[in-house]
Amino acid sequence: MTEKLYWDDALATSFATTGAALTTFGGKPSITLARTAFYPEGGGQLGDIGHLTIGTSLVEVVDTQVDDEGIIHHVLAGDVPRELAASLGSGAEVPVQGTVEAKRRRDNMVQHTAQHALSRALADAARATTVSARLGATACTIDVDRPGISDADLHRVEDLVNAVVMSDVPVVTSFPSADELAKLALRKQPNPAKSARGVRVVSIEGFDISPCGGTHCTRTGQIGQVRIAATEKYKGMLRITFHAGTRALVDARSRADALAALAKDLTCGALDVPAAVAKLRADGKALRDRLEAARTELAELVAARALAALPEGAGPHVVSLVRTKDDLGALRVLAGELAKDARVAAIVGGEDAASGEVVLVVQRGADARLDCGAFVMAEARLRGGRGGGRPERAEGRFPRGTSVEVLATAARAALVDVPR
């Protein structure tokens, strides 16, 4: 097994060793070493990146992984330089200098320590047990065994975890004996130890004790701040997205910028945005109600004029109208008004302003024997459109330039073919 230097000093981002082996991991070339400061992906934490200087060759490490034997693989960016492959194949104990990308390591430490503290706070303040956690490159999540948590409880969780951060208490790692481990109040039970040193435990003084092999801050003050950014239901549980450290600052700043931009557009203060949005919603609803009333009145007038032109007596009749300026909502209302005449099968067409497609609404009166859904589906297949619906009402979209009158003629033929 590779000796894990990061277990003893997570802040160290450079190291020296001798000897290296060239191998592969996941189909990509990799370097294995006897000892390394590179952390391999595991426990929800991403693997380190950086570079290795092996003899006189410099190679980029784009990922770090560990295999089932406990050997850590430094996955390389591309093909191995020929001179490096030759030197490793010679069997010589070449000197190796490794450098871990410090900014990413520090960020991973902050997020992982914040996750431990947040998981404890969720258990204590919201009675929510962490089932799993994922510490991504841009967002971190915790899945808990509850379908939901109230905003008040989430605020208490944030207050508790940030109180621990501001207390700046030590974060200590250790390898207790089996007897010592059994006496610890662990937040979760450890997996079987794969290290000769046993189970590694991370303790946030006076707050949380948890088995973990990841890299962590040495004091909670290094976390800076923890913010819960979002929650969503996930497989019967609750997924909590959080940010810590610089990520929390960036997230808070972007939200503040968005709120400020919205306040500027609404010509109000940032804290007055909710009231301004509520007023906009109320005004919008009033306008929609007025529009719907006007739309209905117009549809009644247009339908009355079209129906007045029909011959007297029994139908059925196909009435087709083209309303290029009407939206789909208006077309639906107009088709409904026309179909109030039991003799009528209404074919109402408009134009999609964005795509130029012909939008069609077909609706029948009580005595007009036309299967609207079957008719629209058949015509759509024939003309490269799409659509369908119920026998009494259907909608479709047809290519630009499709003639509504041609569709109306097809509907008249369909009426003739229906037995009475």
Q: Which of 114-118, 322-326, 377-381 has the lowest average pLDDT?
A: 322-326
Side by side, the strands of the sheet bearing 130-135 are 130-135, 140-144, 237-244, 226-234
CATH value at residue 69: 2.40.30.130
- Please report whether residue 284 resides in a domain: no
Residues 177 and 161 in one domain: yes
Residues 340 and 401 in one domain: yes
Q: Give the CA radius of gyration of the chain.
A: 34
- Please report whether residue 133 resides in a domain: yes
Residues 120 and 255 in one domain: yes
**Res 88 pLDDT > 90:** no
Domain range holding 241? 105-264
- Please report whether residue 391 resides in a domain: yes
In this prediction, residues 357-377 reach a mean pLDDT of 95
Predicted local distance difference test score (pLDDT) of residue 1:
85
pTM of the predicted model as reported, rounded to 2 decimal places: 0.75
* Measured torsion, CA atoms of residues 296, 301, 302, 305, in degrees rounded to the nearest 10: 150
Long-range contacts of 64-68 (CB under 8 A, 24+ apart): 64/38, 64/39, 64/40, 65/25, 65/26, 65/30, 65/40, 65/41, 66/2, 66/40, 66/41, 66/42, 67/25
Point out the domain boundary residue: 33, 67, 100: 100
Give the bridge partners for 31, in sequence order: 22, 74
Residues 365 and 334 in one domain: yes
**Res 84 pLDDT > 90:** no
Q: Which of 90-104, 135-149, 239-253 has the lowest average pLDDT?
A: 90-104
Predicted local distance difference test score (pLDDT) of residue 420:
44
**Res 363 pLDDT > 80:** yes
In this prediction, residues 4-31 reach a mean pLDDT of 94
Point out the domain boundary residue: 79, 100, 121: 100
The two beta strands, 344-351 and 317-322, are: parallel
**Res 91 pLDDT > 80:** no
Report whether 115 contacts 88 (CB < 8 A): no
Residues 201 and 304 in one domain: no
The two beta strands, 140-144 and 237-244, are: antiparallel
Distance CA 339, CA 335 (A): 6
Among the listed residues 174, 161, 151, the one whose alpha carbon sits nearest the alpha carbon of residue 123: 161
**Res 382 pLDDT > 60:** yes
Residues 224 and 154 in one domain: yes
CATH value at residue 344: 3.10.310.40
CATH value at residue 176: 3.30.980.10
- Please report whether residue 286 resides in a domain: no
Give the chain's domain count. Answer: 3
Residues 111 and 256 in one domain: yes
Residues 232 and 322 in one domain: no
Residues 75 and 113 in one domain: no
First to last CA, the chain: 85
Among the listed residues 74, 119, 103, the one whose alpha carbon sits nearest the alpha carbon of residue 212: 119
Among the listed residues 315, 319, 314, the one whose alpha carbon sits nearest the alpha carbon of residue 338: 319
Predicted local distance difference test score (pLDDT) of residue 81:
85
Predicted local distance difference test score (pLDDT) of residue 419:
47
**Res 103 pLDDT > 70:** yes
**Res 112 pLDDT > 80:** yes
Percentage of the chain with pLDDT > 90? 86
Predicted local distance difference test score (pLDDT) of residue 318:
94
* Measured torsion, CA atoms of residues 33, 35, 37, 41, in degrees rounded to the nearest 10: 60
Distance CA 340, CA 395 (A): 18
In this prediction, residues 293-310 reach a mean pLDDT of 93
- Please report whether residue 275 resides in a domain: no
- Please report whether residue 269 resides in a domain: no
**Res 80 pLDDT > 90:** no
Longest Cα separation, the chain: 104
Point out the domain boundary residue: 55, 76, 100: 100
Average pLDDT, the chain: 93
Instruction: Give 32-55 pLDDT, tens digit per residue.
Output: 999 999 999 998 999 999 999 998
Please state the φ and ψ torsions of residue 53, each to the nearest 5 degrees: -110, 110
Residues 145 and 210 in one domain: yes
Residues 317 and 395 in one domain: yes
Among the listed residues 62, 57, 58, the one whose alpha carbon sits nearest the alpha carbon of residue 86: 57
Residues 389 and 249 in one domain: no
Q: What is the DSSP string of 183-218?
A: HS--SSPPPPP-STT---EEEETTTEEEE--S---S
| CA angle (227, 230, 232) in 5-degree steps | 145
- Please report whether residue 276 resides in a domain: no
**Res 109 pLDDT > 70:** yes
Instruction: Give 205-231 pLDDT, tens digit per residue.
Output: 999 999 999 999 999 999 999 999 999
In this prediction, residues 11-35 reach a mean pLDDT of 94
Given the structure tokens 């003799």, which residue do they identify? 343
Q: What is the DSSP string of 53-120?
A: EETTEEEEEEEEEE-TTS-EEEEESSPPPHHHHHHHHTT---EEEEEE-HHHHHHHHHHHHHHHHHHH
Side by side, the strands of the sheet bearing 317-322 are 317-322, 344-351, 358-364, 393-398, 386-389
- Please report whether residue 274 resides in a domain: no
